[in-house]
Structure 1
């Protein structure tokens, strides 16, 4: 396994399975981290790399719901979409994830929130793609930058306790 560590973020690319695992701890309880993922306004404030504008077309984060958003920078648009297969408050989100620039490479993602006590949460996100080429395409497309910068923005949002992220 290849492991890249940034401040509190671990991204693991499995050599045997077309999978990426991201582990990140937050100084906030699971209900706040969960709400930042499911609340449309909060999600739009932290997701993705710095400097990207985001337009959310839909974000119905419930079992059976769907989402689509577009990130833009320098006149370029990058669309993403998927379906929420299972949503359990404060503990689990299972969804598909597709970058519209690579529509044949759909990932199945499982996001688990673990209460560490003392107002801390460990988020473990596992993304499984049906091919190594698809997985490697996601990783090569700047996923690491988007993940790290997005989680830095989420840290700031949670620290400020804005938007009712409680």
Structure 2
């Protein structure tokens, strides 16, 4: 996995290759019971409160730590999500008003899908808080679990 967060640029770009069809990756992002299986660090429990992957649809999930403290995130879909791309806003309840835009693309070639997540912030300071808040650890844990999930789904499909 590659994470690029250039100094002074309000953007983070993440790329990761998966040996799975993009349709499986898309399902992992669009189906609540699959999102629950891969999103977030292992020590947090994820509850998918809402997931309506369509233009104007809302999504919301909450991560709970072992003490029961919740960390909720929410946003809207822009355009209809497809196996090629998802466009969504993203906001953390503990930082209201700090909204960022995610463009997630799934590019498949020869059985390998490259997932690219381009996250754009309104200000460099917002991006810096995102990076300092453990973004790297959460992304790496999530992408490893996503890899396991899509591999399992691919095996089941055979």
Equivalent residue number for residue 39 of structure 1: 31
Give the deviation of 1:89 after TM superposition: 1.9
Extract unaligned runs of 5+ from structure 1.
1-8
Runs of at least 4 residues off by over 3 Å: none
Equivalent residue number for residue 55 of structure 2: 63
SS at match of 1:79: strand
1:46-99 residue CA offsets vs partner (Å, 9 max, x unmatched):
001111101111011112111111101132211100000023421000000011
Q: Identify if the C-alpha distance between structure 1 residues 105 and 58 changes in structure 2 by more than 3 Å, giving closer, same or farther.
A: same
**Cα distance in 1 between the residues matched to 2:81 and 2:92:** 24
Tell me the C-alpha RMSD between the 2 structures.
1.6
**Cα distance in 1 between the residues matched to 2:151 and 2:10:** 34
1:82-135 residue CA offsets vs partner (Å, 9 max, x unmatched):
000023421000000011111121111100110122x21001101111111111
**Cα distance in 1 between the residues matched to 2:88 and 2:149:** 23
Residues 46, 151 of structure 1: 8 Å contact kept: yes
Extract unaligned runs of 5+ from structure 2.
none
Residues 43, 66 of structure 2: 8 Å contact kept: no
Q: 2:106 aligns with which of 102, 113, 122?
A: 113
Listed as ranges, the matches of 1:70-149 within 5 Å are 70-75=62-67, 76-117=69-110, 119-149=111-141
Residues 86, 92 of structure 1: 8 Å contact kept: no
